[in-house]
């Protein structure tokens, strides 16, 4: 009996300490999911964002936040992850190189070493949920987001490399392809239409979209960020569906959707219409069952050029569109959480300790009872 217990203990310890052998990504669409979210630029906005996404019955809503190559402060980002857990917010991190949000400078083209550095850094963090959502860069069909010159072949290669590197660190990384500018024309290497770009990616790197776990969409109501919600427009609030269908036709994979940017401009659309448009879009377009998260751009722009999208005024007051989404009924999300390795180790040690001696057999201590009880406790935490 003792040899059997030690053998079984060793087997369980192997399973517990090497979860990548037995655990796959969690599908967020298979259990209650609060898809309401918001896009933020800075970690300090998290408490306000949490109140926004988890309002009116919601829990575990989403936030999208960029992380730049030069912003790898371990203490800062670990506090951010702890705060996400504290406030019940699921983070979606968008990889970014050096650039300037407020002066619209050209962003540096990423290199393979950037992916390795990001993977090493982010893998050192304690994440709040099992799935670790990563968006691999942004609007890469615009030259100013790709070193001044678009190149779908380069991006497909970077994307594939990111999948390989991040998954080698942990199977819990949920890799999402970049959201594209849905209003970009075919204009040399300055801009490439998003549908042309997606086809080119697949031509250069066949089956590239079978490698990723989800797709980001910037389903802005274009042209001019000012059109009424239209499910039939390839460059409108429903453009995510055309992107999803095209990818499915290319690679046979219907990817979960993350609408990580969208919104109407206050410069061209009145407050009353923006309220109506958001209500219509959420009720009739963004109610699609394949959508995991909707994080409109932007929670807080202060006095910068994105103020026309901001859900808070320059003084921090809530806008009417802010209150509109706060009032939407929401779901209490139930995401999966990381394996509690520390607790599993404690339980495994308890098994080892109790298999060293043969206790006096009682009604509750028949051979195998203790081991069975511990196994049950261990799998409770997995």
Asked whether the CA dihedral 75, 81, 82, 86 is positive or negative, the reply is: positive
Confidence bin at 303 (pLDDT 50/70/90)? confident
Confidence bin at 244 (pLDDT 50/70/90)? very high
**Which residue did the predictor score with more confidence, 186 or 348?**
186
The rounded mean pLDDT for the chain is 88
pLDDT at 300: 96
Of 342, 258, 245, which is closest to residue 64 (Cα–Cα)? Answer: 258
Q: Let me know: does 52 contact 89? Beta carbons within 8 Å.
A: no
Q: How far apart are CA 13 and CA 8, in angstroms?
A: 9
**Average pLDDT for residues 300-307, to the nearest whole number?**
88
pLDDT at 99: 77
End-to-end CA distance of the chain: 26
Domains plus CATH for the chain? 2-10+342-380 (no CATH), 32-326 (3.20.20.80)
Q: How far apart are CA 326 and CA 36, in angstroms?
A: 10
Q: Where does the chain have alpha helices with state H? A: 2-17, 46-53, 74-87, 112-123, 152-169, 194-204, 239-251, 271-284, 320-326, 341-354, 369-380
pLDDT at residue 248 greater than cutoff 80: yes
Task: Determine if residue 104 is left, alpha or beta; phi over 0 gives left, psi from -120 to 50 gives alpha, anything else beta.
Answer: left
Confidence bin at 349 (pLDDT 50/70/90)? low
pLDDT at 24: 64
pLDDT at residue 1 greater than cutoff 90: no
pLDDT at 20: 38
Share of residues in the chain with pLDDT > 70 (%): 81
Torsion of Cα atoms, 291 then 293 then 294 then 295, to 10°: -160
Of 145, 147, 118, 117, which is closest to residue 134 (Cα–Cα)? Answer: 118
pTM of the predicted protein model: 0.85
**pLDDT by residue (tens digit) across 35-50?**
999 999 999 999 999 9
Range with lowest mean pLDDT among 107-111, 170-174, 354-358: 354-358
- Determine the 3-state secondary structure of 62 from DSSP: strand
Q: How far apart are CA 378 and CA 333, in angstroms?
A: 25
**pLDDT by residue (tens digit) across 267-302?**
999 999 999 999 999 999 999 999 999 999 999 998
Q: How many CB atoms neighbour CB 69 within 10 A?
A: 18
């Amino acid at each position: 009996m003792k040899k059997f217990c030690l053998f079984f203990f060793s087997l369980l310890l192997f399973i517990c300490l090497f979860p990548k052998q037995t655990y796959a990504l969690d599908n967020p669409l298979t259990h209650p999911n609060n898809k309401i979210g918001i896009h933020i630029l800075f970690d300090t906005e998290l408490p306000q964002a949490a109140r926004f996404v988890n309002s009116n019955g919601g829990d575990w809503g989403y936030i999208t936040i960029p992380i730049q190559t030069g912003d790898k402060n371990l203490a800062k980002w670990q506090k951010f992850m702890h705060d996400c857990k504290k406030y019940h917010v699921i983070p979606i991190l968008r990889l970014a190189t050096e650039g300037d949000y407020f002066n619209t400078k050209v962003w540096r083209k990423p290199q393979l070493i950037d992916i390795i550095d990001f993977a090493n850094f982010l893998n050192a963090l304690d994440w709040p949920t099992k799935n670790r959502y990563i968006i691999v860069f942004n609007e890469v069909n615009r030259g100013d987001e790709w070193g001044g010159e678009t190149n779908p072949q380069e991006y497909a290669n970077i994307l594939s490399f990111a999948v390989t590197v991040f998954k080698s660190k942990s199977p819990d990384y949920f890799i999402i392809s970049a959201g594209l500018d849905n209003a970009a024309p075919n204009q040399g290497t300055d801009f490439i239409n998003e549908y042309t770009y997606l086809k080119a990616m697949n031509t250069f790197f066949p089956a590239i979209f079978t490698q990723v776990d989800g797709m980001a969409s910037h389903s802005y109501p274009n042209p001019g960020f000012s059109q009424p919600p239209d499910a039939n427009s390839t460059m409108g609030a429903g453009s995510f569906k055309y992107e999803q269908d095209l990818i499915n036709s290319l690679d046979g994979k219907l990817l979960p959707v993350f609408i990580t940017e969208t919104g109407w401009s206050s410069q061209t659309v009145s407050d009353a219409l923006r309220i109506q448009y958001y209500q219509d879009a959420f009720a009739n377009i963004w109610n699609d069952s394949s959508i995991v998260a909707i994080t409109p751009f932007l929670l807080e722009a202060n006095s910068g050029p994105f103020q026309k999208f901001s859900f808070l005024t320059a003084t921090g007051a809530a806008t009417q569109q802010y209150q509109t989404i706060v009032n939407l009924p929401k779901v209490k999300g139930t995401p999966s959480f990381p394996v509690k390795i520390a607790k599993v180790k404690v339980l495994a040690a308890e098994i080892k300790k109790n298999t060293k001696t043969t206790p006096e057999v009682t009604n509750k201590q028949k051979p195998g009872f203790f081991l069975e009880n511990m196994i049950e406790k261990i799998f409770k935490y997995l």
